[in-house]
């Protein structure tokens, strides 16, 4: 018998060379192979005749071969083999490309199953390169695997089959009462049926079971992560200074902002470290929430750190918070890569001595470089690309500080609850009053002149504008030059005499900052930029956002960019320029025109891009899933959350024998995700 943990080389028929090919697919052990689930299935239980199928569809037809194979040499490396079949009524002309062996194996007047796309006309049908198999003995539902060039799906299927035949019954991982309650088939049934299902009903049961187990493992892991942090903290921020803080604000906070501040203050007073996510659309006013809880923390005698993903953003936060809180005696410092060495040393000393209350800087800098006298609260901004492990480390080495993560990626709340199962969540679901929606238009490049004229008029009226050119990848010098050229051309032609700024990823931090500052001060009227402005920068006088090659941006990116305007009182505009005819691109741009609500746009994004993309591992930083899909399987996910809560209530440490395998699987799943 085969051992599930042994190398795949122990499977009959797998030599060193083949094992190497499997390794390329990430398959090393027999277990890896068994968990290499099919990506799809061919259902051959529904054989139909030609007359029953639609032209252009994929069909499975049983037919008899009625003419011998004819060879047509097309050119070097391309030979066609043609022959005819019939299903009894209609003749099917079949073409086979290059496959000498298949052509040679076909026997006249024998019955075959043809599986593939069929094109019909009035009197006959044709199929190009269908899969052809002997009619007898073919499996009903066949698995299709992701394959590499030299290891095709059929070869994988064969090895999986051999492995399953030589493996003992898989031992059960889920306790009987859970299987009963959630109507789950046994693991053994599931693992065998997922590869070679008897019928579609068995397949569905197998999938449900495996998805359930995977999501349950994930939920348990996240909940335990959360629980691990439910170690008491000495940082108890007792007195809530929100009332005082409100008087420092130049505006009246929204109900949502107040609620979020209250939720945070309750956490910070609880005796347990806060681990909270603040979700709010662009412009919903997350910074004021941060300021509010910083104020309370500092007034209670603690230091705070605010971390931003870019220097520009850190700088802007520093300015905003200094203006808001400086007058009330909060001592704020900005620490960035471009801070001079001497100054850096001074800032760090002041922190250690407790002479600074609030330090603002980029993540790397603050996490690695600074020590505090009395750190109480850490806030991280715009962390939509943040892994679980990083989240676990958020509270900085050795500190029990309260943590708040602020994210502008709208995710439906129920889903957020599960993806960020390790965090509590506050949502800013209300925009500050008086915001008009940004008027959005989609035009093609013939409109350039008119757009420039429009921008000029806006600038003459005292407003400012952005033009964003796509920078696909940092370091793609070609694109960078194009942004530079673009700016140059504008300043020589349509915008002569107007101060144009240029901002791109390759610029030094200090340069970027100078440009951003000049734009924020209104010295630069028109900013030509790559997406470095995407995150969080706030310039209220900017009223126009023009996006070149808009089809090259994703929906959430476009939404973020558009969020850069409409921050002041004046009507703002977003102009999306695109010549793309691609259907999804057109759909995406239409969505932007139609909707302004980030949550709505996120929904559409899911629909258009498919969940796999939207929740690619990089975005939420969770362990990679093998079979489950958090969006497609929302219903199961919900049940798993419930089940996980029940399990932890019964046996928090998963010490009971019945949870032993499950506990092992959790460590395995999260250990593997340590790489991300």
Q: Is 309 in the site for ligand ADP (CB under 6 A)?
A: no
Q: Are 170 and 188 in contact (CB under 8 A)?
A: yes
In the complex, what is the shortest distance from the CB of residue 439 to ligand ADP, in angstroms, rounded to a whole number? Answer: 19
Q: Tell me which residue of 433, 437, 349, 407 sits closest to 535, measured CA to CA.
A: 407
Return the one option of Mg ion, ligand ADP, none that residue 376 interacts with (CB less than 5 to 8 A, by type): none
Which stretch in 172-180, 280-288, 356-364, 620-628 sits in contact with ligand ADP by CB under 6 A? 280-288
Q: Name the residues that contact Mg ion, by CB under 5 A.
A: 536
Nearer to ligand ADP, 218 or 324 (CB): 324
Q: From CA 111, how far away is CA 487, in angstroms rounded? A: 68
C-alpha to C-alpha distances, 433 to 24, 340, 595, nearest whole angstrom: 55, 41, 18
Q: Are 56 and 101 in contact (CB under 8 A)?
A: no
In the complex, what is the shortest distance from the CB of residue 538 to ligand ADP, in angstroms, rounded to a whole number? Answer: 5
Q: Is 286 in the site for ligand ADP (CB under 6 A)?
A: yes
Backbone angles phi, psi at 287, to 5 degrees: -60, -40
Q: What angle do CA 625, 627, 629 make, to 5 degrees?
A: 70
Instruction: Tell which one of 538, 548, 551, 605 touches ligand ADP (CB under 6 A).
Output: 538
Return the one option of Mg ion, ligand ADP, none that residue 538 interacts with (CB less than 5 to 8 A, by type): ligand ADP
C-alpha to C-alpha distances, 196 to 27, 38, 145, nearest whole angstrom: 19, 9, 12
Instruction: Tell which one of 130, 273, 283, 376 touches ligand ADP (CB under 6 A).
Output: 283
Q: Tell me which residue of 650, 562, 648, 647 sits closest to 598, measured CA to CA.
A: 562
Return the one option of ligand ADP, Mg ion, none that residue 38 interacts with (CB less than 5 to 8 A, by type): none
The continuous run of DSSP H or E covering 482 comes out as: helix 477-492
In the complex, what is the shortest distance from the CB of residue 500 to Mg ion, in angstroms, rounded to a whole number? Answer: 26
Return the one option of Mg ion, ligand ADP, none that residue 304 interacts with (CB less than 5 to 8 A, by type): none
In the complex, what is the shortest distance from the CB of residue 284 to ligand ADP, in angstroms, rounded to a whole number? Answer: 4
Instruction: Tell which one of 384, 567, 588, 620 touches ligand ADP (CB under 6 A).
Output: 567
In the complex, what is the shortest distance from the CB of residue 362 to Mg ion, in angstroms, rounded to a whole number? Answer: 15
Binding mask 391-430 for ligand ADP (x = CB under 6 A): -----------------x----------------------
Q: From CA 124, how far away is CA 118, in angstroms rounded? A: 11
Nearer to ligand ADP, 233 or 257 (CB): 257
**DSSP code for 653:** T
Q: How many CA atoms lie within 13 A of 278 on its CB side?
A: 30
Q: Is 387 in the site for ligand ADP (CB under 6 A)?
A: no
Q: From CA 230, how far away is CA 616, in angstroms rounded? A: 29
Nearer to Mg ion, 310 or 479 (CB): 310
In the complex, what is the shortest distance from the CB of residue 268 to ligand ADP, in angstroms, rounded to a whole number? Answer: 20
Q: Coil, helix or strand for 24?
A: helix
Q: Is 621 in the site for ligand ADP (CB under 6 A)?
A: no
Which stretch in 138-146, 277-285, 569-577, 648-656 sits in contact with ligand ADP by CB under 6 A? 277-285
Q: Tell me which residue of 51, 55, 54 sits closest to 63, measured CA to CA.
A: 51
Which stretch in 49-57, 87-95, 149-157, 278-286 sits in contact with ligand ADP by CB under 6 A? 278-286
With both helix axes pointing from N to C terminus, report the angle between 598-609 and 555-562 in degrees, rounded to the nearest 10. 160
# residues near ligand ADP by CB under 6 A: 19
In the block, residue with structure tokens 């094992």 = 19
Nearest-10 Cα torsion for 511, 512, 516, 518: 10
Nearer to Mg ion, 125 or 321 (CB): 321
Nearer to Mg ion, 536 or 621 (CB): 536
Q: Quote the radius of gyration of the chain (alpha carbons, Å).
A: 31
Instruction: Tell which one of 215, 288, 469, 630 touches ligand ADP (CB under 6 A).
Output: 288
Return the one option of ligand ADP, Mg ion, none that residue 339 interacts with (CB less than 5 to 8 A, by type): none
Q: Is 536 in the site for ligand ADP (CB under 6 A)?
A: yes
Q: What angle do CA 331, 334, 339 make, to 5 degrees?
A: 135
Q: From CA 676, how far away is CA 572, in angstroms rounded? A: 39
Nearer to Mg ion, 284 or 333 (CB): 284
Of all residues in this chain, which one has the CB nearest to ligand ADP in the complex?
A: 285
Nearer to ligand ADP, 81 or 466 (CB): 466
Q: From CA 621, how far away is CA 338, in angstroms rounded? A: 29
Q: Is 285 in the site for ligand ADP (CB under 6 A)?
A: yes
Return the one option of Mg ion, ligand ADP, none that residue 288 interacts with (CB less than 5 to 8 A, by type): ligand ADP
Q: Which residues pair with 95 in a beta bridge?
A: 82, 128
Q: From CA 600, how far away is CA 453, in angstroms rounded? A: 32
Nearer to ligand ADP, 169 or 252 (CB): 252
Q: Are 409 and 277 in contact (CB under 8 A)?
A: no
Ranges within 225-264 binding ligand ADP (CB under 6 A)? 251-254, 257
In the complex, what is the shortest distance from the CB of residue 434 to ligand ADP, in angstroms, rounded to a whole number? Answer: 7
Q: Tell me which residue of 220, 141, 53, 18 sits closest to 647, measured CA to CA.
A: 220
Ranges within 205-224 binding ligand ADP (CB under 6 A)? none
Q: Are 209 and 190 in contact (CB under 8 A)?
A: yes
Nearer to ligand ADP, 432 or 522 (CB): 432
Return the one option of ligand ADP, Mg ion, none that residue 285 interacts with (CB less than 5 to 8 A, by type): ligand ADP
Q: Is 284 in the site for ligand ADP (CB under 6 A)?
A: yes
Tell me whether strands 141-144 and 40-43 are parallel, antiparallel or unpaired. Answer: antiparallel
Count CB atoms within 10 A of the CB of residue 99: 14
Q: Coil, helix or strand for 140?
A: coil
Ranges within 425-444 binding ligand ADP (CB under 6 A)? 432
**DSSP code for 2:** B
Nearer to ligand ADP, 194 or 602 (CB): 602
Q: Are 299 and 239 in contact (CB under 8 A)?
A: yes
Which stretch in 40-48, 60-68, 286-294, 513-521 sits in contact with ligand ADP by CB under 6 A? 286-294
Q: Are 647 and 659 in contact (CB under 8 A)?
A: yes
Of all residues in this chain, which one has the CB nearest to Mg ion in the complex?
A: 536
Residues that bind ligand ADP (CB under 6 A): 251-254, 257, 280, 282-288, 408, 432, 536, 538, 540, 567
């Amino acid at each position: 018998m085969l051992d599930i943990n042994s190398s795949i080389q122990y499977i009959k028929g797998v030599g060193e060379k083949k094992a190497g090919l499997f390794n390329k697919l990430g398959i090393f052990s027999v277990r890896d192979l068994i968990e290499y689930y099919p990506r799809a299935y061919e259902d051959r239980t529904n054989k139909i005749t030609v007359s029953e199928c639609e032209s252009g569809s994929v069909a499975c037809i049983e037919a008899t071969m009625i003419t011998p194979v004819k060879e047509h040499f097309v050119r070097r490396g391309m030979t066609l083999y043609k022959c005819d079949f019939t299903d009894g009524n209609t003749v099917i002309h079949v073409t086979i490309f290059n496959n000498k062996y298949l052509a040679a194996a076909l026997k006249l007047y024998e019955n075959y199953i043809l599986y593939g796309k069929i094109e019909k006309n009035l009197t006959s049908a044709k199929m190009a390169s269908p899969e052809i198999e002997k009619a007898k003995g073919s499996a009903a539902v066949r698995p299709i695997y992701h394959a590499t060039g030299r290891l095709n799906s059929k070869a994988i299927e064969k090895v999986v089959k051999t492995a399953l035949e030589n493996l003992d019954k898989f031992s059960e991982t889920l306790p009987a009462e859970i299987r009963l309650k959630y109507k789950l088939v046994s693991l053994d049934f599931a693992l065998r049926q997922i590869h070679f299902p008897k019928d579609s009903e068995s397949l569905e049961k197998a999938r449900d079971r495996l998805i359930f187990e995977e999501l349950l493992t994930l939920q348990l892991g996240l909940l335990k992560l959360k629980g691990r942090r439910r170690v008491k903290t000495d940082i108890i921020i007792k007195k809530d200074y929100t009332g005082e803080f409100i008087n420092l604000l130049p505006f009246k906070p929204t109900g949502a902002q107040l609620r979020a501040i209250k939720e945070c203050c309750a956490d910070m007073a609880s005796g347990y470290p806060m681990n909270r996510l603040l979700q709010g659309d662009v412009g919903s006013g997350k910074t004021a929430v941060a300021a509010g809880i910083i104020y309370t923390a500092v007034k209670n005698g603690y230091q705070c750190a605010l971390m931003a993903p870019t220097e520009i953003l850190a700088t802007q936060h520093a300015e905003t918070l200094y203006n808001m809180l400086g007058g009330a005696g909060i001592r704020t410092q900005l620490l960035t890569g471009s801070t001079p060495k001497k100054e850096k040393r001074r800032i760090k000393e002041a922190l250690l001595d407790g002479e600074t209350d609030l330090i603002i800087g980029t993540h790397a800098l603050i996490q690695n470089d600074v020590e505090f006298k009395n750190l109480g609260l850490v806030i991280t901004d715009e962390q939509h690309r943040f892994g679980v492990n990083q989240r676990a480390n958020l509270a900085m080495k050795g500190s029990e500080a309260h943590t708040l993560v602020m994210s502008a990626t709208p995710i439906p709340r129920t889903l957020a609850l599960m993806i960020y199962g390790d965090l509590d969540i506050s949502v800013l679901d209300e925009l500050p009053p008086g915001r008009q929606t940004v008027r959005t238009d989609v035009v093609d490049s013939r409109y350039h002149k008119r757009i420039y004229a429009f921008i000029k008029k806006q600038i003459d009226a005292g407003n400012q504008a952005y033009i964003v050119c796509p920078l696909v990848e940092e370091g793609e010098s070609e694109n960078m030059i194009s942004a530079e050229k673009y700016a140059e051309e504008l300043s020589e032609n349509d915008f002569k005499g107007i101060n144009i700024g240029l901002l791109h990823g390759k610029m030094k931090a200090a340069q970027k900052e100078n440009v951003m500052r000049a734009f924020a001060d209104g010295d630069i009227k028109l900013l030509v930029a790559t997406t470095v402005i995407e995150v969080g920068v706030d310039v209220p006088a900017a009223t126009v956002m023009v996006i070149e090659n808009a089809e090259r941006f994703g929906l959430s990116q476009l939404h973020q960019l558009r969020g850069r305007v409409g921050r002041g009182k004046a009507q703002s505009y977003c102009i999306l320029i695109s010549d793309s005819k691609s259907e999804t691109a057109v759909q995406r741009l239409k969505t932007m025109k139609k909707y302004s609500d980030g949550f709505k746009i996120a929904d559409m994004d899911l629909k258009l891009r498919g969940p796999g993309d939207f929740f690619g591992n990089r975005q939420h930083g969770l362990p990679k899933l093998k079979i489950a899909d958090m969006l497609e399987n929302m219903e199961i996910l919900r049940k798993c959350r419930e089940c996980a809560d029940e399990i932890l209530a019964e046996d928090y440490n998963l010490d009971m024998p019945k949870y032993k395998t499950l506990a092992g699987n959790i460590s395995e799943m999260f250990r593997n995700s340590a790489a991300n």
